[in-house]
Every structure is written in structure tokens, then in C-alpha cells.
């Protein structure tokens, strides 16, 4: 029998040929391609444009070099491939000088539990730096770490990590400091298994524009997705786009964004998707502005499962003029019993030509949801024009909704219970709106000293409701027909006689009871005796009895 012996593969530029055993090979020149073949190999390179292929076995691949003033066109390249086995892949590249540089770093782990570590640094205050980093873990429980930093006139970092199948851990960070434009793109993708994917980006520049984009997808499994963004002292515009998607499984999704701008616009758009499973969201944004216009929109979409959603946005502005800010927290709960907390706050100083909008918007779905929305503009400063609003729609199921506005604020809360046995609580605010909907609802106005508006419909049985804290001196009844349209004033001035044709009011102990001809019954707890007409529930029937279907037409936009 003839035995075929593998022929060694000689590669131009290498001093030692690879074998099927445990090899130690170092590149000797730019352009080398080194293949380790079988065995546990140690491959290294200190040159640009070198490819290291480990092959089968548990291999160690190291690429490390520094380039000063790369010649035109300034293209740098490093590539590693682990192959089959538990491999270690390390890349360290540093670029210095005043020449422009375009760098590509590629690392592929292959099959096995691989460790991939990539570090890149471009150091120049006059050059343009464009960097693309790609890492693929492949099958197996991989650990991938990427650290990139660029200082220059223009700095762009584009990192793409595909963790692959298995329980993977990915930590990717990027820092830029450029005089013209900073751009950071980070795309992290998991697959099967329990993945931990983290993207962190920071810009530390005094006179520049900043653009950040984070996209993280978990895939199937109980994943943890984390986005961290920090923009410090940028004089011009800062744009942040974040998109995190958990996929199937019980996922933990976290985002922490801090933006500081001087005179430019801070545009912050963040979207989060849970997918199937019991997911947890912790979303925090802190915006600081000297002057300029800021727009922040955060949206969470849950799916099936019992989800926990917490969203916090804080806006801090200086005492100078010319500041405009719009911040929206939006949560869309899925099927299941979800816990939702929406929190907005603003601080700052006095000054002309300043305005801000703070809006919390929450939608329930099937299931018993607990939703709380809070807005605090008590420390926003004087001379500021503000639109402050909470809007919660419980949807189907027995929901508990709470809308809270800080003391002395002119903001309001709009609470829609929907079908089911709901609890609606209003705290603070002016011209709040409460709509119980179908079912046996509890509406608590006790902690809401302003003029509250209670809305219900005639022509349809909306259940048995109880109202606590009704203030006859200031609160308003808004009565609509079954289709939600206004009831025309067809009699004497005011709507009292028209409403009396549709409802009856009686006295029951210390409470007044309003009953519609279609069966809806509303008990006004503690309103006293003597109520015989709907006009007796208010102090001024001409202003406190209304029929307006558009009271909250824009609240849920």
C-alpha cells in the first residue's frame, strides 16, 4: 500500500513552510498569505496586507504593526481566518502621520469556541481616516472584542460583527475625535443561542459634526443587547440612530445615550423591538444643549409575552436664548400583561425664544397592563414655552393607567381605559382627560387639583364606573353619542337639557349617580345630596358641560 505524504505548501515571502503539525510561522513581507494547515499553529505578522489562515486545530493568529504616513492611496489591509478549532485571533493596527488612510480589518473565527480581539488606532489631526472592521465568529461559543479609535480631520469607523451560532459575547467600542466630521457605524448580529451584544460609541470633539448608527440584532435565544452612546461638546450637529431587535426569547435590551451640543441640532432617533418572549427594556437618554434645536424620538415595540418597558428622557438647556427641543417617549405594548414606565423631565434657565415639547405616549394591547407616564418640567426655567403631555391608551384587558404632571405645570394627561375593568389615576396637570371605556372602571381624580375632563358616551352600555375626587367647581363632563360624535345643542342655551334627555341623575347616600338610557352607570363619590339633573354635578353648566369629540385628537399621534 502506498501512503501519500502531504506536500508542504510554500508561500512566497515565508521563511518556514507550513505542515500538518504544530507550526510557528511569521510573515516576512507585505503581501504574504500564510496557511497553517492541520495542527495547533502559531501564525504572526508585523506587515501590512498579510492574510493568516489557521486551518484545523486550535490556532493562535497575531497581526500587529504600525504605519507612519502610509503612501498613496493609503490602503491598509489585514485578514485572519481561524478555521476549525478553538482559535485565538488578535489584530492590532496603528496609523500615524498626516496622510489619509483607508483601513480594512477582517477576522473570521470559523467552527469552534473562538476568541477574536481587534484593536485599531488612527492618530492624526489633519488626515482623513476611513476604517472598516469585520468580524465573524462562526459556529461555537465565541468571544469577540473590537476597540477602534480615530483622530483626524474626518474620521469614519464602520464595525460589523456577525457572532454566528452559539452562546456568543461581543463587545465593540469606537471613539472618534475629528475636526470636521465623526461617523461611527456599529452593526452587531447574533444568531442561535444566548448572545451578549454590546456596542459603545463616543465622540469627544469641540468643533465638529457627529453621526452615530447602532444596529444590534439578537436572533433566537435569551439575548442581552446594549447600546451606549456619548457625545461630548460638539459645536455643530449630532445625529444618533439606534435600532435594537431582540428576536425570539426572553431578551434584555438596554440603551444609554448622552448628547451634549453647543449651537447645533441634536437629532436622536431610537427604535427597539422585543419579539416573542418576556422582554425587558431599559432606555435612557440625556440631552444637554447650549443653543440650537434638539429632536429626540424613542420608540419601544413589544410583542407577545409579559414585558417590562422603562423609558427615561432628560433635557437640560442653558439660560441662553434660541433653544427648541422636542422629546417623545413612545411605548407600544404587546399581548400579555406588560409593565410600562415613561418618564420625561426638563431643567434649565430663563431666557427668551425658548420652547420645548415633552410627550409620553403609551399603547396597551390585549392583557392587563400597568402603565405609568410622568412629566416634570418644574425646573425648566421661566420664559419658556412648553407643551407637556402624557397619553396612555390601555386597549383591551383590565389595565391600570397613571398620568402624572409636576406641580404648577400647565401640562396634561389623557387616559383611555378601553375595554375591561380599568383603573385610571390622574395626578397634577390642567385639563386632563379620563375616558373609562367599556367595563367597570375606577377613575381617581383626587390628586389632580386642576380642571379635569371626564368623557363618556351615550347610546352604548359602558359599564359601571366610580369617580373619586370629582370637583364640582372646576371639573368638566364631556358627553358624546355612541359613535363618538358631538351631541347638538337643540334646546335652551347650554347642553344641560339635552343631556338630561339622555341620562338621569339621582342621589345615593353621599354620592351622585348618573345613569344613561343604555345602562352606563357612573357614581360620583362624595359629591353630596340633592342631585336631580346633570347640571347639578357642576357649578357652571354653560362651561362645564360640553360635547367635543376632538379633545385629544392629536395626543396619540
DSSP symbols for 323-353 = EEEEEEEEEE--SS--EEEEEEEEE----SS
- pLDDT band per the 50, 70, 90 thresholds, residue 207: low
pLDDT band at 266 (very low <50, low <70, confident <90, very high): confident
Set of cell numbers at residue 181: 466630521
Q: What is the pLDDT of residues 472-522, one digit of tens each?
A: 999 999 999 999 999 999 878 899 999 999 999 998 888 999 999 888 999
pLDDT digits (tens, 9 = 90+) for 267-324: 899 999 999 999 999 999 998 877 778 899 999 999 989 999 999 999 987 766 667 8
| Long-range CB pairs of 472-475, under 8 A, 24+ apart, other chains included | 472/527, 472/537, 472/538, 472/539, 473/539, 474/450, 474/539, 474/544, 475/445, 475/451, 475/538, 475/544
Distance in angstroms between the alpha carbons of the first and the last residue of the chain? 81
**pLDDT at residue number 263:** 63
pLDDT of residue 12: 46
pLDDT above 50: residue 465: yes
CA atoms of 111 and 289, how far apart (whole Å): 48
- In 3-state terms, what secondary structure has residue 553? coil
Q: What does residue 404 show for φ and ψ, rounded to 5 degrees? A: -130, 130
- What 3-state DSSP class applies to 380? coil
- Domain locations in the chain? 73-498
- Numbers of helices and strands, H then E, in the chain: 2, 38
11-62: per-residue pLDDT in tens?
444 445 777 889 999 999 999 999 999 999 999 999 999 999 999 999 999 9
CA-based nearest residue to 419, from 435, 402, 443: 435
The set of cell numbers assigned to 78 is 489585514
476 forms beta bridges with 453
The DSSP symbol for 438 reads S
Tens digit of each residue's pLDDT (9 = 90 or more) over 317-342: 776 666 788 999 999 998 889 999 99
- And the C-alpha cell for 45? 505578522
User: Does residue 119 surpass a pLDDT of 50?
Assistant: yes
CA distance 107 to 404: 51
Can you give the pTM of this predicted structure? 0.93
Q: Is the pLDDT of residue 6 over 60?
A: no
Give the Cα separation of 466 and 525 in Å (integer): 7
Distance, CA of 146 to CA of 14 (rounded, Å):
28
Cis peptide before 423 (omega within 30 of 0): no
Distance CA(172)–CA(117), nearest Å, equals 10
> Is pLDDT of 2 > 50?
no
Amino acid at each position: 500500500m502506498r501512503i501519500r505524504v502531504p506536500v508542504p505548501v510554500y508561500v512566497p515571502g515565508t521563511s518556514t513552510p507550513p505542515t500538518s503539525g504544530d507550526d510557528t510561522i511569521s510573515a516576512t513581507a507585505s503581501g504574504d498569505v500564510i496557511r497553517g494547515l492541520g495542527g495547533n499553529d502559531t501564525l504572526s505578522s508585523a506587515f501590512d496586507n498579510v492574510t493568516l489562515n489557521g486551518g484545523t486545530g486550535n490556532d493562535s493568529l497575531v497581526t500587529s504593526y504600525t504605519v507612519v504616513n502610509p503612501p498613496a492611496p493609503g490602503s491598509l489591509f489585514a485578514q485572519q481566518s481561524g478555521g476549525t478549532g478553538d482559535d485565538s485571533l488578535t489584530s492590532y493596527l496603528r496609523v500615524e502621520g498626516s496622510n489619509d488612510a483607508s483601513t480594512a480589518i477582517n477576522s473570521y473565527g470559523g467552527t469552534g469556541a473562538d476568541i477574536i480581539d481587534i484593536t485599531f488606532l488612527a492618530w492624526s489631526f489633519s488626515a482623513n481616516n476611513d476604517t472598516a472592521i469585520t468580524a465573524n465568529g462562526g459556529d461555537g461559543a465565541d468571544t469577540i472584542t473590537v476597540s477602534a479609535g480615530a483622530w483626524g480631520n474626518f474620521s469614519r469607523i464602520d464595525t460589523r460583527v456577525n457572532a454566528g451560532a452559539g452562546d456568543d459575547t461581543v463587545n465593540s467600542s469606537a471613539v472618534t475625535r475629528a475636526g470636521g466630521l465623526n461617523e461611527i457605524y456599529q452593526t452587531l448580529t447574533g444568531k442561535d443561542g444566548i448572545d451578549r451584544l454590546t456596542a459603545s460609541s463616543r465622540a469627544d470633539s469641540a468643533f465638529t459634526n457627529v453621526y452615530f448608527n447602532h444596529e444590534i440584532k439578537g436572533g433566537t435565544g435569551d439575548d442581552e443587547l446594549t447600546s451606549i452612546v456619548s457625545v461630548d461638546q460638539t459645536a455643530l450637529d449630532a445625529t444618533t440612530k439606534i435600532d435594537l431587535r431582540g428576536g425570539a426569547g426572553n431578551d434584555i435590551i438596554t440603551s444609554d445615550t448622552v448628547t451634549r451640543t453647543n449651537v447645533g441640532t441634536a437629532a436622536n432617533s431610537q427604535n427597539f423591538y422585543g419579539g416573542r418572549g418576556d422582554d425587558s427594556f431599559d432606555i435612557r437618554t440625556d440631552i444637554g444643549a447650549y443653543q440650537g434645536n434638539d429632536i429626540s424620538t424613542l420608540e419601544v415595540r413589544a410583542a407577545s409575552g409579559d414585558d417590562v418597558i422603562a423609558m427615561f428622557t432628560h433635557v437640560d438647556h442653558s439660560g441662553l436664548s434660541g433653544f427648541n427641543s422636542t422629546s417623545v417617549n413612545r411605548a407600544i405594548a404587546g399581548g400579555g400583561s406588560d409593565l410600562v414606565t415613561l418618564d420625561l423631565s426638563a431643567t434649565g434657565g430663563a431666557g427668551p425664544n425658548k420652547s420645548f415639547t415633552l410627550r409620553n405616549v403609551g399603547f396597551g394591547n390585549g392583557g392587563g397592563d400597568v402603565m405609568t407616564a410622568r412629566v416634570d418640567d418644574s425646573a425648566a426655567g421661566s420664559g419658556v414655552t412648553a407643551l407637556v403631555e402624557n397619553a396612555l391608551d390601555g386597549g383591551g384587558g383590565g389595565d391600570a393607567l397613571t398620568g402624572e404632571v409636576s406641580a404648577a405645570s400647565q401640562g396634561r394627561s389623557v387616559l383611555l381605559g378601553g375595554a375591561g375593568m380599568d383603573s385610571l389615576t390622574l395626578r397634577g396637570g390642567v385639563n386632563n382627560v379620563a375616558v373609562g371605556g367599556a367595563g367597570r372602571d375606577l377613575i381617581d381624580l383626587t390628586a389632580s387639583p386642576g380642571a379635569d375632563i371626564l368623557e363618556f358616551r351615550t347610546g352604548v352600555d359602558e359599564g359601571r364606573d366610580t369617580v373619586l375626587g370629582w370637583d364640582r367647581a372646576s371639573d368638566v363632563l364631556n358627553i358624546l353619542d355612541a359613535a363618538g360624535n358631538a351631541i347638538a345643542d337643540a334646546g335652551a342655551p347650554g347642553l344641560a337639557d339635552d343631556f338630561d334627555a339622555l341620562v338621569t341623575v339621582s342621589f345615593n347616600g353621599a354620592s351622585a349617580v348618573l345613569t344613561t338610557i343604555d345602562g352606563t352607570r357612573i357614581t360620583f363619590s362624595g359629591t353630596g345630596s340633592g342631585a336631580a339633573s346633570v347640571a347639578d354635578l357642576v357649578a357652571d353648566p354653560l362651561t362645564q358641560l360640553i360635547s367635543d369629540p376632538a379633545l385629544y385628537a392629536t395626543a396619540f399621534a
